[in-house]
């Protein structure tokens, strides 16, 4: 009798962990398993929709899971249905795989970047160092703790903007990396570690405070004296040295970064690039060229399609020099929303735009007339501030005093 009881207890103890395990199904393609609960932690694996994982524990917005012998963190968003994807950019999407390692993901992105820029000189160091993006976790965690007192309840989307899926396809990411590398080739990066860490902290805090908290972004300062900023597919944001000179507080820098993040989240550049490619493909002259090339040179339509991929680079490069007003309006509103959700004064965007209105910029959406339009719709946004927000003047002033920008 005693032996039977002991056997039953042993069986119960052995089977209990198995029975208690909770299995989850990944719902979104290219969901990322990370070393820690944040998009700034290194990637472990990339998982496709339908992958089964075991839940270990839940944290705020993140779940610690196990797949085979690997443990890591995945966002709660990965366990829900994917967001709205833009149909027009489907041609840029690569094939899905069940799971991919960090090296495979990085190699794929770099391969796409090189494909898009075959005839362009690119900054090789930028491409090589991109995989090993330097991010000081301890500095950021301290920054986040200081800012959390301003963290607010996320504001509703008053303009009924339909935000897209936050996933970055490798093909799109590769295009963004190629164009970013070409900008670095032209201007170079501003090599100041204190400023770089500071900008990374601001950008990452905006990411963490909004719905795209599980999307990885990389933030850089380019060595350009005019106030400017750029957004590239895949989560790459550039802000110019000149913009740091013009800004008077941290909230203004946050607003500029948030505006560029909005362009990436909404995939404005990819949408416009795809539209222009479709216009080229639809033209009769292109069809005739297609047939003529095949007739005279034996080049197939597939090879002609490769030419279209290469001109994607030129198309997107022209787009970042000046986006359409409809994209700017959407990005400005979302920038105000993102900065507010991060505890910053959302009207800091208006303040910095007013200050640079009469300054020369090589970017279309920082021209004086364009800024006037932007200030108009910002004023008409009827944005309400329901809680205390911050400009963080003192921290920004300390940065400028300690690290003067020449």
Question: In the structure encoding, which two tokens stand for residue 257, read together?
Answer: 């970064």
Contact between 25 and 195 (Cβ < 8 Å) = no
| 50 vs 38: CA distance, rounded Å | 22
Closest by CA position to 75, among listed 39, 49, 44, 29: 39
pLDDT, position 301: 44
Sheet containing 70-75: order of strands = 22-25, 52-59, 62-67, 70-75, 31-34, 43-47, 99-101
Q: What are the Cα distances from residue 22, in Å, to 18, 55, 83, 187?
A: 9, 5, 25, 51
Q: What are the Cα distances from residue 346, in Å, to 144, 153, 214, 244, 370?
A: 18, 14, 22, 18, 20
pLDDT, position 32: 93
pLDDT, position 165: 61
Question: In the structure encoding, which two tokens stand for residue 293, read together?
Answer: 């090339």
> Which contacts of 53-57 are long-range, i.e. CB under 8 A and separated by 24 or more positions?
53/23, 53/24, 53/25, 53/26, 54/21, 54/22, 54/23, 54/24, 55/21, 55/22, 55/23, 55/24
pLDDT, position 293: 44
Question: In the structure encoding, which two tokens stand for residue 326, read together?
Answer: 């409809």
Contact between 218 and 233 (Cβ < 8 Å) = no
CB atoms inside a 10 Å sphere around CB 306: 13
| Residue count (the chain) | 406
CA angle 374, 377, 381 (to 5 degrees): 135
pLDDT, position 169: 77
Burial pattern 134-150, b for ≥16 Cβ within 10 A else e, equals ebeeeebeebbeebeeb
pLDDT, position 315: 53
| 253 vs 149: CA distance, rounded Å | 19
Give the chain's domains with CATH numbers: 2-79 (2.30.30.40), 101-266+322-402 (no CATH), 269-308 (no CATH)
CB atoms inside a 10 Å sphere around CB 98: 12
| 224 vs 105: CA distance, rounded Å | 31
pLDDT, position 204: 97
Tens-binned pLDDT, residue by residue, of the chain (406 aa) = 566 555 555 555 555 555 467 899 999 888 999 999 999 999 999 999 999 999 999 988 999 999 999 999 999 999 986 555 544 444 445 554 556 666 666 766 766 666 666 666 777 788 888 888 889 999 999 999 988 766 555 555 455 565 666 677 788 888 888 888 888 988 999 999 999 999 999 999 999 999 999 999 999 999 999 899 999 989 999 999 999 999 999 999 999 999 999 999 998 877 777 776 666 555 544 455 455 544 444 444 454 455 545 555 555 555 555 556 778 889 999 999 999 999 999 999 999 999 988 776 656 667 788 888 888 888 887 676 666 677 888 898 899 888 888 7
């Amino acid at each position: 009798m005693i032996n039977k009881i002991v056997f039953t207890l042993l069986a119960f103890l052995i089977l209990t962990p198995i029975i208690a395990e909770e299995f989850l199904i990944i719902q979104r393609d290219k969901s990322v398993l990370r070393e820690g609960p944040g998009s700034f932690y290194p990637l472990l694996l990339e998982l496709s929709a339908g992958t089964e994982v075991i839940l270990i524990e839940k944290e705020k917005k993140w779940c610690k899971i196990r797949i085979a012998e690997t443990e890591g963190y995945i966002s709660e968003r990965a366990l829900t249905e994917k967001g709205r994807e833009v149909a027009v950019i489907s041609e840029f999407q690569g094939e899905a795989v069940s799971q991919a390692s960090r090296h495979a993901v990085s190699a794929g992105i770099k391969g796409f970047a090189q494909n898009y820029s075959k005839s362009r000189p690119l900054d090789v160091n930028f491409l090589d160092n991109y995989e090993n993006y330097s991010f000081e976790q301890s500095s950021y965690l301290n920054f986040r703790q200081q800012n959390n007192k301003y963290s607010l309840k996320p504001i509703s989307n008053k303009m009924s903007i339909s935000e897209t899926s936050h996933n970055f396809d490798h093909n799109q990411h590769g295009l963004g990396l190629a164009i970013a590398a070409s900008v670095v080739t032209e201007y170079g990066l501003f090599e100041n570690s204190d400023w770089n860490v500071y900008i990374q902290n601001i950008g990452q805090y905006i990411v963490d405070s909004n719905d795209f908290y599980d999307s990885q972004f990389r933030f850089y300062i380019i060595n350009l004296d005019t106030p400017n900023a750029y957004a590239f597919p895949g989560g790459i944001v550039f802000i110019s040295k000149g913009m740091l000179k013009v800004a008077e507080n941290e909230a203004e820098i946050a607003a500029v970064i948030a505006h560029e993040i909005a362009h990436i989240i909404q995939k404005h550049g990819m949408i416009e690039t795809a539209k222009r490619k479709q216009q080229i493909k639809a033209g009769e002259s292109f069809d005739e060229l297609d047939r003529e090339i095949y007739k005279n040179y034996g080049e197939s339509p597939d090879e002609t399609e490769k030419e279209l991929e290469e001109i994607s680079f030129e198309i997107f490069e022209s787009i970042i020099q000046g986006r359409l007003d409809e994209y700017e309006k959407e990005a400005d509103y979302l920038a105000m929303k993102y900065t507010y959700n991060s505890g910053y004064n959302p009207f800091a965007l208006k303040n910095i735009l007013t200050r640079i209105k009469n300054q020369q910029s090589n970017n279309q959406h920082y021209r004086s007339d364009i800024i006037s339009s932007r200030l108009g719709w910002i004023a008409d946004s009827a944005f309400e501030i329901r809680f205390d927000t911050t400009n963080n003047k003192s921290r920004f002033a300390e940065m400028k005093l300690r690290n003067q920008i020449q």
